[in-house]
Amino acid sequence: MSHDDSEFDFDVVRTNILNRSFATTYGEALKEWSYTGIVTEYEEPNEVCQLCGNTGLGSHFRIENIVTGRCLEIGSKCIQKYDVPVYGPDGQHLDSQDVQKRLLSDVDEVRRAHVREALAKLPERSAFFRDVYELKEAVPPLRLLQIFDALDKAKIPHRKSCFKVELRTKVARAELESLTERGFRSLSPALTSEQRRHWTRPQNPDAAKRESMKLWQAMQRRDKRKAEERLRQRS
Ligand SMILES: [Zn+2]
């Protein structure tokens, strides 16, 4: 979704719109277009915006011309920057604030669907992770690393950036702070830029590893206790 303002080239935008529109002036032509609500997410942020030609996009948002039927896969910033019409459920023209909300919620929906699909493929022995994640649709750092591990082991394709990390509790924040560089790199795609700031490269990597291991073992013990409790309740 990244766009660098300096690279915008309005001539390219105008040509791309006019070449696929019925009207012959840019202002009229733009009215033929609207956002379709179709979002495609990619593994790597290497996609090109078909409106301005900018590169490095991780998501595409489809816009369509209702007169010519032509479509363009573009960046979210371009929808906002060039005022491509976005309509609400009742056909009302959304203002820029609502456009922003709508685009974010569409991306969120695609990501959640991706996560649900990946977790549904987990084998029975790690199905527990599916329940844990789906309960809140975000989990603490070490738990998410465990989930990534289970998905990797089962060779289930997944985009880490679609998962969410829960950092509200003290324990969760301690988990993040305890991560070694390797652990942090593995978790990083799922963290927001704000969340990433809670981690600093450990001064003493061995101590960080020990701390991480301690928290990891504590988590395993909690899991074991909970599993035993469930078994007791059933019998
Ligand atoms: Zn663009």
In the block, tokens 């997410």 appear at 41
Tens of pLDDT along the chain (235 residues) come to 444 554 457 899 999 999 999 999 999 999 999 999 999 998 788 999 999 999 999 999 999 999 999 999 999 999 999 999 999 989 999 999 999 999 999 999 999 999 999 999 999 989 889 999 999 999 999 999 999 999 999 999 999 999 999 999 999 999 999 999 999 999 999 999 999 999 998 888 898 889 889 999 998 898 889 888 888 887 7
Measured CA angle at 139 (ends 135, 143), to 5 deg: 115
Read off the pLDDT of residues 81-119 as tens digits, 9 standing for 90 and up. Answer: 999 999 998 999 999 999 999 999 999 999 999 999 999
Domain ranges of the chain: 5-110, 121-234
Ligand 1 centroid from CA 13, angstroms: 8
Distance 171 CA to ligand 1 centre (A): 41
Q: Is 120 within 8 Å of 103 (Cβ atoms)?
A: no
Measured in angstroms, how far is the CA atom of residue 99 from the centroid of ligand 1?
Answer: 16
Q: What pTM was computed for the model?
A: 0.82
Query: How far is the centre of ligand 1, averaged over its atoms, from the C-alpha of 186 (Å)?
Result: 30
Find the 191 Cα to ligand 1 centroid distance in Å: 25
Give the distance (Å) from ligand 1 centre to CA of residue 189.
23
Which of these, 35, 32, 125, 117, lies nearest to 73 by C-alpha position?
35
As given in the structure block, the two tokens for residue 139 are 């989990």
What tokens appear for 120 in the block?
């549904």
The residues placing their C-beta within 5 Å of ligand 1, an ion, are: 49, 51-52, 54, 75, 78
How wide is the angle at C-alpha 2 spanned by C-alphas 76 and 157, nearest 5°? 90
CA of 49 to the centre of ligand 1 (A): 5
Kindly give the distance from the C-alpha atom of residue 65 to the centroid of ligand 1, in angstroms, as a whole number: 17
> Would you list the DSSP string of the chain?
----GGG--HHHHHHHHHTT-SSSSHHHHHHTEEEEEEEEE-SSS-B--TTT----BSEEEEEEETTT--EEEE-HHHHHHTT---B-TTSPBPPHHHHHHHHHHHHHHHHHHHHHHHHHTS-GGGHHHHHHHHHHT-B-HHHHHHHHHHHHHTT----GGGS-B---SHHHHHHHHH--HHHHHHHGGGS-HHHHTT----SSHHHHHHHHHHHHHHHHHHHHHHHHHHHHHH-
Place of tokens 């998962």: 163
Q: In the numeric block, which tokens belong to residue 151?
A: 């998905």
CA of 60 to the centre of ligand 1 (A): 10
Ligand 1 geometric centre to CA of 36 (Å): 16
